[in-house]
Structure 1
Amino acid sequence: MALSSVRGLSVFISEIRNCQNKEQERLRVDKELGNVRNRFKNEKGLTPYEKKKYVWKMLYIFMLGYDVDFGHMEAVSLISAPKYPEKQVGYLVTSCLLNENHDFLRLAINTVRNDIIGRNETFQCLALTLVGNIGGREFAESLAPDVQKLLISSSCRPLVKKKAALCLLRLFRKNPDVVNVDGWSDRMAQLLDERNLGVLTSSMSLFVSLVSNNHEAYWSCLPKCVKVLERLARNQDVPQEYTYYGIPSPWLQVKTMRALQYFPTIEDPNTRRALFEVLQRILMGTDVVKNVNKNNASHAVLFEALALVMHLDAEKEMMAQCVALLGKFIAVREPNIRYLGLENMTRMLMVTDVQEIIKRHQAQIITSLKDPDISIRRRALDLLYAMCDISNAKDIVEELLQYLGTAEFTMREELALKAAILAEKFAPDLSWYVDVILQLIDKAGDFISDDIWFRVVQFVTNNEDLQPYAALKAREYLDKPAVHETMMKVSAYLLGEYSHLLARRPGCSPKEIFSILHEKLPTVSTPTISILLSAYAKILMHSQPLDPELQNQIWAIFSKYETCIDAEIQQRAVEYFALSKKGPALMDILAEMPKFPERESSLIKKAEDTETDTAELSAIKSRAQQQASNALVVTGQQPANEPQVTQLAMVKIPSINNMENNHVDQEVTHTNGTVSEVEPQNADILGDLLSPLALEGPPGVSGTETLSEDGALALAPVGEQENAVKPIVDIAERFHALCVSDSGVLYEDPYVQIGIKAEWRGQHGRLVLFLGNKTTSSLDSVQAVILSPSHLKLELSSVPEIIPPRAQVQYPLEVLNLSPSRDVAVLDFSYKFGTTLVDNKLRLPAVLNKFFQPITLSAEEFFPQWKSLATPPLKLQEVVRGVRPMSLGEMANLLNSLRLIVSPGLDPNANNLVASTTFYSESTRSMLCLVRIETDPADRTQLRMTVASGDPTLTFELKEFIKEQLISIPTASRPPVPPQPQPTAQPISSSDPGALLAGLL
């Protein structure tokens, strides 16, 4: 395009760039669009140059995001222009503005077809580019035969053939039922003989698409592909412009090998030999160098060659060579190369018998298990799992157990499952298997599914020689100060069944076994209590001669649970109490469990259902986990008296490791704004072994929630205000400071200061707003309106319209909390200073934690309450990511500042915090709230939080409130920052009876 032809466009672009703001830009664009419309209406007076210039301007305006529907016809009409400059603009702008379904494209089909079948190569290229970019069905039906003729024409230059091949590829991909490629085998074979590498590369792209759809029709092309690879591998007749860092056309090599993988194994010996010679050359000539670009190209060729080698089921010597090459790759520093090496080793194990060769690199693979990159650790775990057998199972399982303590939360469940499967499949003896499973439960109880401990119980029950050993190991684990609940289940079962086999060992008498089991009873959940009651009954049955003291202790427990609200526990207690009075008859009724029938391991089936071995699936999994912590999305504004509709993404959240917690994943779906969840199986006490991680809001959550820019929820949007008068304090910081303090400055600018003093008692609160005039002139048109959420009842007095110079007025508010909610009341405050109108919307700190009354609970008070709130929606649990890194002490201080009192030592795990408070509202009255936070010392940016209360709405709101504090409100625990005085402001006299709040502070 000549410089003169763009002068007007250049001036217009310069003017747009010089606009100071979006409004000026919009005015300038509207003016230009009006001018373009007028010129198009008087089309008879337009020269081709002017029309082209205005279409260029229209395209630029479209790129800025403005609507230019009126100019579509003008752009399409330029396609039929006889000269190249106008035709080029027409094709380019049409391809940008119109999609494949636009009606105007029908008007251009004949013109485009004439250009394709014409003799002007430049026009042919323009037309093919347009058809390829749009690729609509109508284009395919009308123009595909002409494009095919152009591709196989012997008179076309390579430039046109390349564009024709790519155009046909796009049409075939979008409309395979329309583009007729029957009988194209000979034509493709002819195209694969092309000497021009540009045409050959484009044709190979088309061939890959064709052969992936129907390889049977293209057998005649297979030798041609091998010859192409031979030519490139030997660097024969490859122009310099197609050599990339010394590698002959790496893109063409990759495409050719990709095409060969769509054919079954090659049977022809000559073709197979030639192909393996080429692959051997590629394998021998690839190494890791310092040049990144060369590495990328050579590795792209290499890994495609490896995939082809696996597809062809090559000889063992070549497979050994591939493994040796991959062994070099997993030892380099570049993480991308290590990842590819590990992934390809795993794939080789799945299709070929190279396990013994890969075992030589076991040490390096184990080193990769500790790599900083989690994607590399995942691939190393997959590879170790795939390469494990009887000879190396002990070493691999021990490494997995050692790694389990430091692994990320997202990997621990998979890690535990695979370690359990390997221990079961390749155990040299069953005692080693029992040791491994008990270690797994001890180190990662939260991530041990019921299937794992069910399986070890089956093995012990079916093997009499193993029973004393298993019972003794279970007894040893109970001596630890913190015992995970899954360990309690296993130990209770094993000791109930087989503790009599240990009677002669020290510390294993029936009374001692009962005592150590009963010590843990207050900390376990309902299903575990059921197992413990069964264990007590069997211990009593085996304690012969009968110990009267032990019998009375166990009878007292049975008697206590005969009135339990849980039907399962009540029935067991009643029946065991009655049976235990039958004397010797009890021996027959409570005999040892019979052997389980042999069955397929449910662990292996579970692993097959969840196993992933590709980078693509791993990436999808990672994205889903990142979205899980942000699953709650507000879908729209609603009236304050209507329930809020929330949308939940499909999530599956991994559990968090702790000695006192158990977990089952939960999937939550949304359908038309309604929430459904997987029903919990049963409950847990301090950790919810089988409780879902509920993320949804409970029924009845109401209010209109708007997320402000600092992450806090407000009743109404508190956006950026275009006041000429700017505040001299950070409004968000002042609000967060007042969330943990009862007095301070809420807002201050050069003319006004607004302070707050508050008192809170139960569900009642009293706020006094101090509105102070800092100037020597009056403030006029003063207005203060409270925008109240539905859960707060506010009684307020009126504010005078004028605040005299250097005076202050008080604005009392009576607050009544009706129900739990995180919605925040907003103060809409405005005034005039001279001719300047200032209007601000300020959030008031009448937030959820203001209605807390701190309370400290002992273990005897805490655990029964925690146990009674067993399942969602009264108890909710969530993995929180993106937490602001802080020490355990700092987190405890933050919770205490929110009136959630931390009880030190209540949780046996030193990395956990347990807090409690009492919430007051009209609907709930005084309601006890319990919180448990489990942290990971290795990663302070994530934790698992469990919240429980007697009200579903309160539980949900409290969980979300604490999450907001942990993620986005670092200033909440800071002391208030005193406002800086302005040099022009006159201070109010402290003798004023209503002295300004800043002075009082």
Structure 2
Amino acid sequence: MALSGMRGLSVFISDVRNCRNKEQERLRVDKELGNIRTRFKNEKGLTPYEKKKYVWKMLYIYMLGYDVDFGHMEAVSLISAPKYPEKQVGYIVTSCLLNENHDFLRLAINAVRNDIIGRNETFQCLALTLVGNIGGREFAESLAPDVQKLLLSSSCRPLVRKKAALCLLRLFRKNSDVVNVDGWSDRMSQLLDERDLGVLTSSMSLFVALVSNNHEAYWNCLPKCVKIMERLARNQDVPQEYTYYGIPSPWLQVKTMRALQYFPTVEDPSIRRALFEVLQRILMGTDVVKNVNKNNASHAVLFEALALVMHLDSEKEMMSQCVALLGKFIAVREPNIRYLGLENMTRMLMVTDVHDIIKRHQAQIITSLKDPDISIRRRSLDLLYGMCDVSNAKDIVEELLQYLATADFAMREELALKAAILAEKFAPDLSWYVDVILQLIDKAGDFVSDDIWFRVVQFVTNNEDLQPYAALKAREYLDKPAIHETMVKVSAYLLGEYSHLLARRPGCSPKEIFGIIHEKLPTVSTPTIPILLSTYAKILMHSQPPDPELQNQIWAVYSKYESCIDAEIQQRAVEYFALSRKGAVLMDILAEMPKFPERQSSLIKKAEDTDADTAELSAIKLRTQQQSSNALVVTDQRPENGASQVGQPGMVLVPSTSNVDHNVVDQRLTQANGSLTVVDPQPTAEDHAPSGDILGDLLSPLAIEGPSRVSAQSEYNNVHGHEGTLGAGDALALATIEDQDSTVKPIGDVAERFQALCLKDSGVLYEDPYVQIGIKAEWRGYQGRFVLFLGNKNTAPLDSVQAVILPPSHLKLELSLVPEVIPPRAQVQCPLEVVNLRPSRDVAVLDFSYKFGTNLVNNRLRLPAVLNKFLQPVQVSAEEFFSQWRALTPPLKLQEVVRGVRPMSLGEMASLLNSLKLLVCPGLDPNASNLVASTTFYSESTQALLCLVRIETDPADRTQLRMTVASGDPTLTFELKEFIKEHLVSIPTAAKPPAPVPQQPIASSDPGALLAGLL
């Protein structure tokens, strides 16, 4: 656009660019808008030049991001101007400022139509460009016939016809009725005879849209498409300007082959032969060269040709040639070509008779599994999974197990699931299957879902010959000094059922089996303890008549857990203790597991239904069954000296579940002939419902999760590993973090400080008479960085300073070294890096301790790395919002009626949502009592995901509302809904920030001075 001669516009742009800050720019823009508004009110005195200048200014202001809510009529009126400069401005500004639903566009339809049917080609191009950019339904109904005439006119120049074809394509996408199918088949065939490649390329774009909608009406165009391919393949009559790096019009080739894929088949032998000759020429003539641009163009044509070959399902020779070509591409250095090669080879698996040819490239595919690019690794995994069969299952599964140890965390769950499925589907014998699954659990226990070990139990239970071998392997794994908790579960279960089959083997007596399993009890979390208690009962049952010493040891365990606070553990301990006193009748009561009925594998079903997202969906099911209270369960798995222990989980914060439903936990105990009868569980392929998955009920995790050892300053007293009842440390685990007893009391409310830091990024996290801990944070996407300011407020040093981060599973946290001594009146800074792996409301904890004189102070402080820190407000248009909203269904969209909301006005609620980084979008909901908000969530696994929220309030009852949350990830939808609900039901009292810390020198006597630089 030419701005020469418009001195006023140039001066205005210079003024805006010279503004020193945003506020100064806003003042200058407001002043200019006021001036333009005044001049437009006196429009009769405006010359065409002045009107054009002011409209240019409006466009520039709009492009800066400011709202321009006037002057639209003046912009539209310029379309009717007789001269090109004014008309050009009118078209450009109208297409930028107005959308297809704007009322002012109706005023321009006649002027645009006059330009389209006129004789001035320049005006025709301007009009067609506007319609193509904006073209709504009204434009389509009014202007489509005129655009069609231009496209078919032989007297129009190619430039106009190209624009007419693309304009008609836009109108067809808005309203398919504008193209009459009956009349357009012959016209389209005529257009495909066009010699001008520009017009032909634009017409082919229109043709692709037409055949995608209804290919039956355009069979007569198929031979024309093949002729176009022949013309381009032989480089006949292709102008130089349409030859890109020696490739004749690659865009037209790609579009033509894409159009051919909408036809089911090619019946005519001559046409089919001609098409195959063209495809053969493309396959033979494509190679990797150094020039990136040529590679991109040639491979765009090649991979579209491969897709067409697969669509036509041609003869085996051409298929073999395609696979050989792809095998060459997956070995080149260029990552984009390797990716496309792997992706297309995976698609080739859908074609019959090529599996054996693809297997020849197995070594190279396995090499790609170790590629630095994770997208290539994922495609390699997909390809290995698809090409696996009985002949190569052992090799592929072995490679996956080896790769599992070094694979990215983002891929391990998918790797584990696919390795388990392949082992199950193609196992040459069941002992190999057991070996694979146990290796899988040993190498990647955190990423192995319960369904995988449930499936092992099913196979072992249904095959008597396999039972001694499985029990022996489980016994061998228990000899390892450190094994994953899932391995403890499966080993304890198998040994409980079948350890009596190993009685003659050394180290496999009932007493020895009990001893080695019981050694693991102090290391497991609460949900695993019920499994071990069941195992002890089974061991006692199989050792009838019992060894008195073994019986006393097991009875001592049951006696200890009879007073356990966990209802599931307590119930089992009481009932098994009572059952074990019945002597020989125990053999009948605790009978062995019956065989399972044959059913579809739950692993295969989940892989098909959820695409390896089983862990997230299971988490949703588990969390929806919990009855949450405001208390937090805080457990710690560290040795007595407080040092962190490698390989063990840290503190886990989850909602406390005091209301455990015994019907859900266990319904296996029934009264029979005056004695309790235990019916053993059966895992099934169904969901973990009480009626369908009995093993899932008996062995599934309870609501209270995390390690079970609790120790801070009190004497080590672990209920799981030692005799005795719950000690002070165990009672502490059930208290809210801020309620922990300490001789040194904090200054101020720790909970309020935490809530305040959830809504801002700097402030005081904790303060007592000796120390002050401040935080300053910054967030970008799914990554964050804290700086912890540890300040000594006194004239004596702080000794034995320790700071340990206890992270939840969804956060990756790395804290720099913390000095053991903080000098008097000094402050140290400790950076903390944060990476969000996936959506969750769990909270990281800072375990901070120090000595001051004789006082040993220990505190566990929640860190404000909460869900909203990984949100980024985003403005969405009405069209984008409603298209996403309608497309999402449960569990991607969840709705709940929330009661107990603190009464507040709609404005206060909007402010609350904005403070949580949910951008309230006014005007999207026609009901004035509702709020609509949008944001983007970032995590390493999901990347950027759009989240949409709708809150419907009841003006008559402000204590309740209906909330709907939608996103592209089911876990994120659930977690965000619960997160918002928590803030609506109990509005943080620290919404207003605490008073700022006085900015005084560090040498002053004011304790708050330690964070002066921070705040």
Q: TM-score range by the shorter chain?
A: 0.5 to 0.7
SS in 2 for 1:741: strand
Q: Structure 1 residues 705, 505: closer, same or farther in 2, change over 3 A?
A: closer
Amino acid at match of 1:479: D
Equivalent-residue separation in structure 1 for 2:149 and 2:258 (angstroms): 26
C-alpha distance after superposition, 1:33-71 (max 9, x if no partner):
444445444444444333333332332233233444432
Match of residue 250 from structure 1: 250
Matches of residues 94-493 of structure 1 in structure 2 within 5 Å?
94-177=94-177, 180-493=180-493
Q: Is the 8 A contact 1:523 1:685 kept in 2?
A: no
SS of corresponding position for 2:265:
coil
Deviates more, 1:426-435 or 1:80-89: 80-89
Q: Distance in 2 between matches of 1:527 and 1:465?
A: 30
- Which residue of 874, 879, 885 maps to 2:810? 879
- With over 3 angstroms needed to count, the CA separation of the structure-2 counterparts of 1:515 and 1:683, relative to structure 1, is farther
Say if 1:708 and 1:527 are closer, same or farther in 2 by CA, change over 3 A. closer
2:588 maps to 588
SS of the residue 2:581 aligns to: helix
> Is the CA contact (8 Å cut-off) linking 1:81 and 1:87 kept in structure 2?
yes
CA distance in 2: counterparts of 1:66 and 1:170, whole angstroms: 29
Asked if residue 742 in structure 1 is aligned to residue 673 in structure 2, the reply is: no
For the 8 Å contact 2:763–2:776, the answer to whether it is kept is no
Q: 1:220 to 1:714 in 2, by over 3 A?
A: farther
1:48 to 1:856, Cα distance in 2 relative to 1, 3 A: closer
> How do residues 547-946 of structure 1 correspond to structure 2 at under 5 angstroms?
547-611=547-611, 682-683=702-703, 686-687=706-707, 711-712=761-762, 739-743=789-793, 877-881=808-812, 883=813, 916=847, 929=860
CA contact (8 A) 2:561 2:569 kept: yes
Partners of 1:414 and 1:993 in 2: CA distance: 57
Alignment of 1:471-550 (within 5 A): 471-544=471-544, 546-550=546-550
SS, match of residue 322 in structure 2: helix
For the residue of structure 2 that corresponds to 1:740, the secondary structure is: strand
Native 8 Å contact 2:845 2:861 kept in 1: yes
Residues in 1 aligned to 2:654 and 2:299: alpha-carbon distance in whole angstroms: 41
Distance 1:566 1:166 in 2: 69
How far residue 853 of structure 1 moved from its aligned partner, in angstroms, is 12
Superposed CA offset, 1:696-752 (max 9, x none): x99x9878967799933589xxxxxxxxxxxxxx9969x998841133xxxxxxxxx
Query: Residue in 2 aligned with 1:828?
Result: none
- Contact 1:162-1:202 at 8 Å conserved across structures: yes
How far is the alpha carbon of 1:662 from its aligned partner?
Answer: 13
SS at match of 2:176: coil
Change (3 A) 1:42 1:491: closer
Q: How far has the Cα of 1:583 moved from its partner?
A: 3.0
2:651–2:706 contact (8 Å) kept in structure 1: no
Q: Contact 2:475–2:495 (CA<8 Å) still a contact in 1? A: yes
Q: Number of aligned residue pairs: give it.
A: 739
The aligned residue for residue 796 of structure 1 is none
Query: Structure 1 stretch 243-252 or stretch 15-24: which is displaced more?
Result: 15-24
Whether the 8 Å CA contact 1:141–1:178 is kept in 2: the answer is: yes
- Asked if the contact 2:802–2:818 (Cα under 8 Å) also holds between the matched residues in 1, the reply is no
Tell me, in whole angstroms, the C-alpha distance in 1 between the residues paired with 2:499 and 2:477.
14
1:633 matched residue in structure 2: none
Residue 141 of structure 1 contacts residue 179 of structure 1 at CA under 8 Å; is this kept in 2? no
Deviation at 1:346, TM superposition (A): 0.9
2: CA distance, partners of 1:738 / 1:437: 43
Displacement of 1:165 after TM fit? 0.6
Q: Which residue of 2 aligns with 1:670?
A: none
Cα contact 1:150–1:161 (8 A) shared by 2? yes
In the superposition, the TM-score normalised over structure 1's length comes to 0.66
How many percent of aligned residue pairs carry the same amino acid?
A: 78
Q: 1:856 to 1:343 in 2, by over 3 A?
A: closer
| CA shift digits 1:388-420 (9 cap, x unpaired) | 111111111111111111111111111111111
C-alpha distance in 1, partners of 2:253/2:506? 73
Q: SS of 1:184's equivalent?
A: helix
| Alpha-carbon separation, structure 1, partners of 2:497 and 2:567 | 24
* Cα deviation code 1:913-935 (max 9, x no counterpart): 9985699xxxxxx9984999xxx
**Residue 878 of structure 2: aligned partner:** none
Question: Which residue of 1 is the match for residue 640 of structure 2?
Answer: none
Cα distance change on mapping 1:21 and 1:564 into 2, 3 Å: closer
1:758-815 Cα deviation digits (max 9, x unpaired)? 999xxxxxxxxxxxxxxxxxxxxxxxxxxxxxxxxxxxxxxxxxxxxxxxxxxxxxxx
**What's the CA shift string for 1:186-220, capped at 9, x where partnerless?**
11111111111100111111111111111111111
- Amino acid aligned to 2:418: K
Q: The residue matched to 1:252 in structure 2 has which SS? A: helix
Contact 1:663 1:688 in 2 (8 A): no
Q: 1:526 to 1:52 in 2, by over 3 A?
A: closer
Deviation at 1:569, TM superposition (A): 3.4
User: How far 1:133 sits from its partner (Å)?
Assistant: 1.0
CA drift at 1:281: 0.9
Residues 662-704 of structure 1 deviation map (CA, whole Å, 9 limit, x = unaligned):
999999xxxxxxxxxx999515664599xxxxxxx99x98789
After superposition, residues 45-84 of structure 1 pair within 5 angstroms as 45-84=45-84
Cα separation, 2, equivalents of 1:994 and 1:603: 62
> In the superposition, relative to structure 1, how do residues 682 and 230 fare at CA in structure 2: closer, same or farther (>3 Å)?
same
CA contact (8 A) 1:525 1:684 kept: no
- Taking the aligned partners of 1:995 and 1:602, their CA distance within structure 2 comes to 60
Q: Residues 3 and 170 (structure 1 numbering): CA distance in 2 closer, same or farther, change over 3 Å? A: closer
Structure (1 or 2) with the larger CA radius of gyration: 1
Cα distance between partner residues in 2 of 1:578 and 1:277:
82
Using the TM superposition, name which of 75-84 and 16-25 deviates more: 16-25
Contact 1:482 1:660 in 2 (8 A): no
Contact 1:5 1:49 in 2 (8 A): no
Query: How far apart in 2 are the matches of 1:549 and 1:854?
Result: 46
The alpha-carbon deviation at position 82 of structure 1 amounts to 1.6
Unaligned runs of 5+ in 2: 621-629, 631-644, 656-687, 690-699, 710-736, 739-749, 766-773, 778-784, 832-843, 851-856, 864-938, 942-977, 984-998, 1011-1015
One-letter code aligned to 2:110: N
Aligned to 2:868: none
Q: Quick one: higher RCO (CA 8 Å, sep 6+), 1 or 2?
A: 1
Cα deviation for residue 489 of structure 1 reads: 1.3
CA distance in 1, matches of 2:598, 2:424: 14
CA 1:592/1:20 → structure 2, altered by over 3 Å: closer, same or farther? closer
Could you say if the C-alpha distance between residues 496 and 165 of structure 1 is closer, same or farther in structure 2, counting changes exceeding 3 Å?
A: same
Query: CA offset at residue 88 of structure 1?
Result: 1.6
- Write the distance in 2 (CA, Å) between the matches of 1:489 and 1:182: 68
Asked whether the 8 Å contact 2:649–2:707 carries over to 1, the reply is yes
Show CA shifts across 1:506-559 (max 9, x none). Answer: 111111111111111222234422222222222222225532211222222233
* Contact kept? 1:445, 1:658, Cα under 8 Å: no
Is the CA contact 2:230–2:278 (under 8 Å) kept in the aligned structure 1?
Answer: yes
Pair 600,758 (structure 1): closer, same or farther in 2 beyond 3 Å: farther
CA contact (8 A) 2:762 2:776 kept: no
8 Å CA contact 1:449–1:664 kept in 2: the answer is no
